[in-house]
Structure 1
Amino acid sequence: MKNRLLITVIAAVLLAGVAIGYTVLSGASPGEAAHSLPVQSGPRLMMLSNGRLSTASRNDPAGPREITEQRCDRAYGAAGTISCLRPVGALKAGELAVLDSQLKELRTVPLTGFPNRTRVSASGRMVAWTLFVDGHSYAANGFSTSTGILDTRTGTLVQSLEEFTVEGLPQLPVDANFWGVTFTADDNRFYATMSTGGHRHLVEGDFAARKVRRTEHDNVECPSLSPDGTRIAYKAAVNGDPQQGWRISVLDLATRRITPLAETRGVDDQPAWLDDRTVAYGIQRDDGLNDVWSVPADGTGTPRIEIPEASSPAPW
């Protein structure tokens, strides 16, 4: 009887230790998950951990993280505004949820398609998203996307960039697709990818004027503007053929110089700038999980895992 009692006590202690360990990892109190993103000193990173919004210290991104109950397929945040593309339900129906730092819903937008990209402007005012309407990969032929933008201050909603005029074109080509929006500091101009006729162009858009213009830069996908506004990180199809994969590169907007980064593996993601020197991106592992990697933005160094078992990184 005494031996059985001793075994029971030991088991209880071990289970308690496991529970405490998980609590430290998630940042929640015992028996509950965090319901809002924490306000803590020092720079933070936001990411998805197994589909849940989470944060970790920028100085120790692989360390303890705060895991909330908010689920998203894709997410991004800036200046207290969070864009959450929620999981798709029946008939490809989902929604965009705009949240504050306490995870309070500020606006929802019904969407149809599979979540793929989302971005928030540095001020937190503008939110953009891209969905696959048909197909699931930019390497496939015949895919179709839907990319929209929301001005959270005025409530102006553009369901699709295909509503915009394209400078120099009398009408939008039937095979045109837009994806991967990134905003400039003025909350009006933006960059994105437009594909048509077998080419993938970097376009610059004017939200107020509802128009875009093609730039001289071809083979630019999923652009991401640096915090200082001088460079764009993007994925470039190897030999111009998406079926061969993509290479992460950086375009200097002033000199037009292109710098391939040290990551030589194929990366199908919209890069995220962690600061003016570091670019992050997700890579799927053989077991289906994702890791967030980072690499210097000047082409030097070597890739390293920034956040294990995570996706959708953003400075927070």
Structure 2
Amino acid sequence: MKKLVLALTGTALLVAAAVTYTVSARHDTAAAEPAAALTLAPGQLLFRDTATGRVGAVPLGDTTAKPQLSGLKCDRFATAKQTAVCLAVRPGTLPAITDVLVLDDHLAVRHTETLPGTPSRARVSPDGRRVDWTLFVTGDSYAQTGFSTRAGLYEVDTGRLVKTIEELPVFKDGNRYFAADVNYWGITFAPDGNRFYATLGSKGTTYLVEADYARYRGKTLRENVECPSLSPDGKRVAFKKKVGDGVWRLSVLDLASLKETELAEPRSVDDQALWQDDHTILYGLGNAVWAVAADGTGTPRQLVAGAASPAVTQDPR
């Protein structure tokens, strides 16, 4: 009996140690300055600090200010209204496992989903009612052949989980599209929380899909559109256009005319761009967050060094 008690005690200690290690691996701040109590107060540029993995923030009006770093560690981060989402891969898991953390306006965890895969993209619908994500389940790069993704979403107000949108009926040229190799990635919602866009990849071609969430059906609009990001006015999509193997250019598509405008960023950008407002687009590139005009003019501006996965908190309307 004594041996059994000792064994159970030892097991409990091991479990406690494992839990402590897992928590500290995600939220450890010992290697950096004390954590700041960040909130989703308006007028901020939030981002992932690439040196520590922690979510940081600077004022939108002064991005050269010293960043404040929270204790929250994420691989991808996004926010809208009073909701945020953090994708955090569990260290040491193989195959990879990601925790999808749904956060409130003080970055406290409201809900967690644990899913297989490596974090790739994350977004929150403009009304704050849905969070969505893309995970790599095989491969770890859009430049690789044979990669596979899972794009899913969570309804914050109802608790409904859609692990993957692979069953979304999509029509191409008026006909239902079927293929065994269909992948979706890069979901972006309209301000109404219903209309959304995503990339459909199949047979070596990518398509921009426009979908109705309530009716749960979509249609292809045009080819060679990846990682769409809908503008605040809901009229344009920023996206990355493939121009070579592993090379993409940022462009903006007018949804009414389907006219495309290449942006003034000449380098390859492998990111889901973010609209700061109707005139400015943000993106991660070369271990920094950059901004460029949405009309193709001007030159790129570096906003924050050592940063990725930008997110902005807007003034309430």
After TM superposition, list the pairs within 5 Å mapping 1:68-147 onto structure 2: 68-89=70-91, 90-91=93-94, 92-147=96-151
C-alpha contact (below 8 Å) 2:168/2:218 kept by paired residues: yes
After TM superposition, list the pairs within 5 Å mapping 1:80-229 onto structure 2: 80-89=82-91, 90-91=93-94, 92-167=96-171, 172-215=178-221, 217-229=222-234
Gap regions ≥5 residues in structure 1 = 1-29, 285-289
Quote how far apart the aligned CAs of 1:163 are: 2.3
Quote how far apart the aligned CAs of 1:210 are: 2.3
C-alpha contact (below 8 Å) 2:40/2:82 kept by paired residues: no
C-alpha contact (below 8 Å) 1:62/1:308 kept by paired residues: no
Gap regions ≥5 residues in structure 2 = 1-31
Identical columns (%):
45
Quote how far apart the aligned CAs of 1:78 are: 0.9
For 1:225-284, what per-residue CA distance to the aligned partner results, in whole angstroms no more than 9, with x for missing partners? 11111111000001xx4x150000000112211000000100000001111111111112
Code of the aligned partner of 1:37: T
C-alpha contact (below 8 Å) 1:37/1:54 kept by paired residues: no
- Going from structure 1 to structure 2, the CA distance change for 1:169 and 1:93 (only over 3 Å counts) comes to farther
Code of the aligned partner of 1:74: R
Quote how far apart the aligned CAs of 1:38 are: 6.5
RMSD over aligned CA atoms reads 1.7
2:234 is equivalent to residue 234 of structure 1: no
For 1:183-235, what per-residue CA distance to the aligned partner results, in whole angstroms no more than 9, with x for missing partners? 001111100000112110000122222222212x1100000011111111000
**Which consecutive aligned stretches of 4+ in structure 1 deviate over 6 angstroms post-superposition?**
none
